[in-house]
């Protein structure tokens, strides 16, 4: 106890050093340069010009790669996930702070805001039906890891014809193997819409397995079609589904891109040899685009590969993600 | 510190021990836990954001990373207990655990985007948490006379819970100040974690020699002791009849049709209840014996199940959260106070580790069983089943748990 004052002084100094270090780093992080998070599109940047639209990872803004080899333009809105079809675009933005919230912005072809919805969770997947009438997004929800797998997703569907928003589709009556399925651990993600603006496909995960489900919005029902299908993406002619299939237990490379023929329910792998963790986007009826972890220190790159399993992957847009072909 | 832990010689003869000061070691360990929980809850709050949004991991990969080491923690805890008992190295083993968890934040920072590096850092954190728990609880139980252990554990758990509540707020503040710089959260968490290690090193007296206790009181190992074995059986039985908090929250959310944004706030209710009740319940347990509060705590959980079977409105939801808080306050620290004095000084950390691991595994089993029952028969039948199971477990535990007279022998 004699060393009391000395010891106290040492503790106080150490605490001050640690507090100073914390504060110094926070101030450093505060003032370092980072791209603006909430930029809107420049007035001149619209969806009128056809081409590949995507998220530019360096700026966090939507960019366009025109069809005829012209340079990239990155004056779109800031989005963490982007998709566009028909008359509408969908831009998911993570709102700053905790707990995580996602702002889903519905944009018109001039990229002006038509409607905005805030949901809890981290932006994950975005899709718009071919007409632009139906929109869906998936947010990865933080803080309710009640299932053993330790994560949960929440998928919303917005019908612009009626303005009706389904905040989470997890209550849709689901049949698996012909039997009505009840489980607390049902998670949906990766919706893709059919041309009739009613049917949709999505992934459902329950009891440690993933299934491809076909859903009907009008009848409000869903049935599982097939196991081990994630992030489905329906081809423009509505005959095939591109998806990621879990092929390995190795957490570093679990998935491969496959295409499923809906008429015969036969699947074939695509020529991409890497593990793809993305909801692919059909660039036309014979090509799919997707993001892969980037080379040379980039966050991600966009690649394309023929949908029939032939050929080989082609690098489309270095430093990009969320590809979508706008016609 | 020593004055407080051994009792002043000029103090009046101890009667029940209730009026005396809380041992300095307990306050010091409470402060260590508070600071460490701020550090670890900061990271827990931002980790999903960082991994999924910052690094672009898919939710499934995140779930895999997150769940990877949960099972291993139980085994590491047993190891931590054994290591601490060998030569009374409680402080050193606990300190190593705290240090490992603090350093793991640095690992997260340095790993950048590499999944392997992040997995290693998370493993180090879990390893540290597993190692330190049993030696720390042994230190608390050795820091004062057996009659006041309920209060000591109550004080420690209240401080611990305070840290767990402050952590997310600290993370929120850092993210707000830096426009979502996750690395800043890791750096602050690292500094706060080091502060915890420092407090432990300076203010917690070393080893089990703090309190003069007859080493030969119970020379047999914990599992050979029939009284300890009874406590272990009763704890495991009751643990296997608990359905897991997350399911309770889910039932509440569904019953109330709660906006999803409010869902993460539900656990704050029981935490606040736990924080407020830990000390009073500990004192009551000291006065009337720990067996009854431990059983009544589980009865409170049974009450929560029963309320969930009725139509859920806001008052029932509040009651369910309050009952859950009572359940924790009356079972967590109280169990340590119940079993601690029965264990020999040289086998205390190991014995407490066995008890904690048994409880954790039984609860895991209970939650898995409830999930399966829900899937098979639906929500209400599963809840009925859980209620019946807990009633049975309570009745059995009433018989199995040693009578109060033998408790603090």
> Within a domain: residue A193?
yes
The complex scores an ipTM of 0.73
Using CA coordinates, name the residue in chain B closest to A300: B56
Query: Is the minimum CB–CB distance between A35 and chain B shorter than 8 Å?
Result: no
**What confidence score (pLDDT) does residue B56 get?**
66
What is d(CA B377, CA B401) in angstroms, rounded to the nearest whole number? 33
Domain B22-203 and domain B222-407 have a common topology:
yes
> Within a domain: residue A168?
yes
Query: Is the minimum CB–CB distance between B171 and chain A shorter than 8 Å?
Result: yes
> Within a domain: residue A208?
yes
**What confidence score (pLDDT) does residue B175 get?**
84
Q: What percentage of chain B reaches a pLDDT higher than 90? A: 38
> Within a domain: residue A102?
yes
Domain range enclosing A41: 35-326
Which of B171, B198, B199 is the closest to A98 by Cβ? Answer: B171
Residue B402 pLDDT grade (very low, low, confident, very high; cuts 50, 70, 90): confident
The larger pLDDT score, comparing residue B97 to residue B15, is at: B97
Most trustworthy range by pLDDT among A55-69, B247-261, B314-328? B314-328
Residue B219 pLDDT grade (very low, low, confident, very high; cuts 50, 70, 90): very low
**What confidence score (pLDDT) does residue B377 get?**
84
Measured at the alpha carbon of residue B191, what is the angle toward residues B72 and B193, in degrees to the nearest 5?
Answer: 35
Are B387 and B247 contacting, i.e. CB atoms less than 8 angstroms apart? no
The packing angle between helices A4-31 and B149-178, to 10°, is 30
CATH class of B22-203: mainly alpha
Structural domain boundaries of chain B? Answer: 22-203, 222-407
Residue B302 pLDDT grade (very low, low, confident, very high; cuts 50, 70, 90): very high
CB spacing of A22 vs B188 below 8 angstroms:
yes
Residue B241 pLDDT grade (very low, low, confident, very high; cuts 50, 70, 90): very high
User: What is the token pair recorded at B131?
Assistant: 């190692």
What is d(CA A191, CA A243) in angstroms, rounded to the nearest whole number? 11
- Could you read off the pLDDT of B14-34 as tens digits, one per residue? 444 445 688 889 999 999 999
Q: Calculate the alpha carbon distances from A133 to A119, A151, A218 in Å.
A: 20, 30, 14
Most trustworthy range by pLDDT among A56-60, B147-151, B392-396? B392-396
**What confidence score (pLDDT) does residue B247 get?**
81
pLDDT (average), residues B98-103:
94
Per the prediction, chain B carries an average pLDDT of 82
**What confidence score (pLDDT) does residue A34 get?**
61
> Within a domain: residue A189?
yes
User: What is the token pair recorded at B126?
Assistant: 């879990």
- Could you read off the pLDDT of B104-144 as tens digits, one per residue? 999 988 887 677 788 888 889 988 998 999 999 999 998 88
pLDDT (average), residues B88-92:
87
Residue A38 pLDDT grade (very low, low, confident, very high; cuts 50, 70, 90): low
Query: Residue A284 belongs to what H/E stretch?
Result: strand A281-284
Residue A290 pLDDT grade (very low, low, confident, very high; cuts 50, 70, 90): very high
Nearest CA distance, B271 vs chain A (angstrom): 15
**What confidence score (pLDDT) does residue B258 get?**
72
What 3-state class would DSSP assign to A312? coil
**What confidence score (pLDDT) does residue B211 get?**
47
Checking if the pLDDT of A166 tops 60, the result is: yes
Minimum mean pLDDT among A10-14, A192-196, B214-218, B270-274: which range?
Answer: B214-218
Domain B222-407 has CATH 3.30.70.380: no
Nearest to B138 by CA among B92, B98, B90, B185: B90
**What confidence score (pLDDT) does residue B212 get?**
45
CB spacing of B179 vs A122 below 8 angstroms:
no
- Could you read off the pLDDT of A104-121 as tens digits, one per residue? 999 999 999 999 999 888
Q: Are strands A221-227 and A174-176 parallel, antiparallel or unpaired?
A: parallel
Checking if the pLDDT of B186 tops 80, the result is: yes
What is Dmax (Cα atoms) for chain A?
Answer: 85
Checking if the pLDDT of B215 tops 60, the result is: no
Contacting residues of A for B176, CB less than 8 Å apart: 96-97
Could you count the other beta carbons within 10 Å of the beta carbon of residue B12?
A: 8
Are B271 and A165 contacting, i.e. CB atoms less than 8 angstroms apart? no
Using CA coordinates, name the residue in chain A closest to B167: A98
Checking if the pLDDT of A239 tops 90, the result is: yes
**What confidence score (pLDDT) does residue A199 get?**
95
CB spacing of B53 vs A254 below 8 angstroms:
no
Would you say how long chain A is, in residues? 327
The larger pLDDT score, comparing residue A96 to residue B290, is at: B290
The larger pLDDT score, comparing residue B113 to residue B292, is at: B292
The CATH code of the domain that includes A150 is: 2.120.10.30
Query: Residue A288 belongs to what H/E stretch?
Result: strand A287-293
The total of structural domains in chain A comes to 1
CB spacing of A25 vs B188 below 8 angstroms:
yes
Contacting residues of A for B202, CB less than 8 Å apart: 7, 10-11
Nearest CA distance, A277 vs chain B (angstrom): 7
Question: Which residues lie below 8 Å from residue A166, measured CB to CB, with a gap of 6+?
Answer: A156, A157, A158
**What confidence score (pLDDT) does residue B365 get?**
86
Checking if the pLDDT of B179 tops 90, the result is: no
Checking if the pLDDT of A327 tops 90, the result is: no
What is d(CA B17, CA B19) in angstroms, rounded to the nearest whole number? 6
Nearest CA distance, A69 vs chain B (angstrom): 29
Checking if the pLDDT of A145 tops 80, the result is: no
Q: Calculate the alpha carbon distances from B374 to A61, A224, B67, B365 in Å.
A: 44, 20, 22, 14
pLDDT (average), residues B199-212:
71
Checking if the pLDDT of B66 tops 50, the result is: yes
Q: Are strands A240-246 and A187-193 parallel, antiparallel or unpaired?
A: unpaired
Minimum mean pLDDT among A140-144, A248-252, B38-42: which range?
Answer: A140-144
Using CA coordinates, name the residue in chain B closest to A186: B375
Residue B3 pLDDT grade (very low, low, confident, very high; cuts 50, 70, 90): very low
Residue B391 preceded by cis peptide, ω within 30 = no
What is d(CA A235, CA A285) in angstroms, rounded to the nearest whole number? 6
Contacting residues of B for A1, CB less than 8 Å apart: 2
pTM confidence score: 0.73
Nearest CA distance, A140 vs chain B (angstrom): 7
**What confidence score (pLDDT) does residue A49 get?**
86
Contacting residues of A for B264, CB less than 8 Å apart: 99, 120, 142-144
> Within a domain: residue A274?
yes
Query: Is the minimum CB–CB distance between B243 and chain A shorter than 8 Å?
Result: no
**What confidence score (pLDDT) does residue B70 get?**
62
The larger pLDDT score, comparing residue A195 to residue B126, is at: A195
Contacting residues of A for B365, CB less than 8 Å apart: none
pLDDT (average), residues A241-255:
84
Best of B24, B167, B191 to mutate (most A CBs within 10 Å, chain A): B191
CA atoms within 13 A on the CB side of A249: 1
Checking if the pLDDT of A246 tops 70, the result is: yes
Supply the DSSP symbol for A224: E
- Could you read off the pLDDT of B351-373 as tens digits, one per residue? 999 999 898 888 888 888 888 88
Q: How many CB pairs under 8 A join A and B?
A: 168
Residue A220 pLDDT grade (very low, low, confident, very high; cuts 50, 70, 90): very high
pLDDT (average), residues A242-258:
85
CA B337, B338, B342, B346: dihedral to nearest 10 degrees? -30
**What confidence score (pLDDT) does residue A74 get?**
82
């Amino acid at each position: 106890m004699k060393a009391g004052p000395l010891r106290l002084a040492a503790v106080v100094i150490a605490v001050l050093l640690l507090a100073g270090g914390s504060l110094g780093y926070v101030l450093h992080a505060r003032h370092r340069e980072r791209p603006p998070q909430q930029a809107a599109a420049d007035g001149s940047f619209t969806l009128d010009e056809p081409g590949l639209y995507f998220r530019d990872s360096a700026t966090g803004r939507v960019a366009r790669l025109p069809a005829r080899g012209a340079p990239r333009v990155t004056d779109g809105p800031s989005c963490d996930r982007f998709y566009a079809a028909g008359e509408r675009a969908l831009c998911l933005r993570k709102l700053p702070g905790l707990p995580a919230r996602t702002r889903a912005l519905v944009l018109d072809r001039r990229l002006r805001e038509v409607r905005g919805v805030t949901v809890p969770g981290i932006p994950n997947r975005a899709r718009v039906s071919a007409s632009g009438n139906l929109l869906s997004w998936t947010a990865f929800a933080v803080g309710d890891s009640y299932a053993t797998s330790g994560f949960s997703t929440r998928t919303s569907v917005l019908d612009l014809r009626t303005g009706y928003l389904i905040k989470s589709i997890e209550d849709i009556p689901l049949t698996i193997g012909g039997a009505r399925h009840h489980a607390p651990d049902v998670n949906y993600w990766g919706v893709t819409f059919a041309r009739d603006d009613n049917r949709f496909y999505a992934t459902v995960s329950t009891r440690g397995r993933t299934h491809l489900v076909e859903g009907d919005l009008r009848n409000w029902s869903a049935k599982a079609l097939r196991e081990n299908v994630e992030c489905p993406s329906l081809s423009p002619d509505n005959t095939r589904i591109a998806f990621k299939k879990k092929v390995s237990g190795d957490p570093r490379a679990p998935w491969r891109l496959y295409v499923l023929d809906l008429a015969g329910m036969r699947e074939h792998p695509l020529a991409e040899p890497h593990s793809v963790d993305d909801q692919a986007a059909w660039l036309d009826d014979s090509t799919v685009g997707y993001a892969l972890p980037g080379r040379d220190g980039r966050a991600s790159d966009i690649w394309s590969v023929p949908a029939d399993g032939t050929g080989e992957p082609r690098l489309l847009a270095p430093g990009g993600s969320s590809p979508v072909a706008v016609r | 510190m020593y004055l407080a832990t051994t009792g002043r010689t000029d103090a009046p003869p101890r009667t029940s021990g209730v009026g005396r000061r809380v041992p300095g070691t307990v306050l010091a360990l409470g402060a260590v836990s508070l600071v460490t929980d701020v550090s670890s809850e900061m990271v827990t709050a931002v980790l999903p954001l960082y991994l999924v949004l910052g690094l672009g991991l898919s939710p499934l990969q995140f779930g895999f990373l997150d769940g990877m080491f949960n099972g291993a923690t139980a085994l590491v805890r047993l190891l931590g207990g054994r290591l601490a008992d060998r030569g009374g190295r409680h402080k050193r083993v606990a300190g190593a655990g705290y240090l490992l968890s603090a350093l793991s934040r640095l690992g997260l920072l340095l790993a950048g985007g590499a999944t392997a590096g992040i997995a290693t850092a998370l493993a180090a954190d879990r390893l540290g948490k597993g190692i330190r728990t049993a030696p720390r609880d042994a230190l608390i139980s050795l820091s004062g006379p057996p009659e006041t252990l309920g209060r000591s554990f109550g004080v420690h758990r209240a401080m611990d819970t305070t840290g767990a509540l402050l952590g997310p707020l600290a993370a929120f503040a850092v993210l707000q100040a830096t426009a979502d710089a996750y690395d800043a959260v890791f750096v602050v968490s690292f500094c706060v974690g080091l502060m915890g290690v420092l407090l432990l090193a300076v203010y917690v007296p070393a080893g089990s020699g703090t309190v003069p206790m007859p080493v030969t009181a119970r020379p047999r190992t914990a599992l050979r002791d029939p009284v300890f074995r009874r406590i272990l059986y009763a704890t495991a039985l009751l643990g296997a009849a608990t359905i897991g908090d997350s399911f309770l929250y889910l039932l509440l959310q569904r019953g109330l049709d709660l906006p999803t944004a409010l869902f993460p706030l539900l656990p704050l209710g029981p935490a606040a209840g736990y924080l407020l009740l830990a000390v009073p319940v500990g004192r009551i347990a000291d006065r009337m014996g720990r067996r009854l509060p431990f059983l009544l705590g589980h009865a409170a959980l049974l009450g929560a199940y029963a309320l969930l079977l009725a139509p859920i409105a806001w008052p029932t939801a509040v009651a369910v959260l309050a009952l859950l808080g009572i359940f924790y306050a009356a079972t967590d620290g109280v169990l340590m106070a119940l079993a601690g004095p029965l264990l020999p000084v040289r086998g205390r950390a190991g014995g407490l580790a066995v008890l904690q691991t048994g409880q954790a595994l039984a609860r895991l089993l209970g939650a898995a069983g409830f999930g399966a029952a829900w899937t098979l028969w639906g929500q209400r039948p599963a809840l009925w089943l859980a209620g019946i199971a807990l009633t049975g477990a309570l009745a059995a535990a009433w018989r199995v748990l040693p009578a109060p007279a033998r408790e603090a022998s």
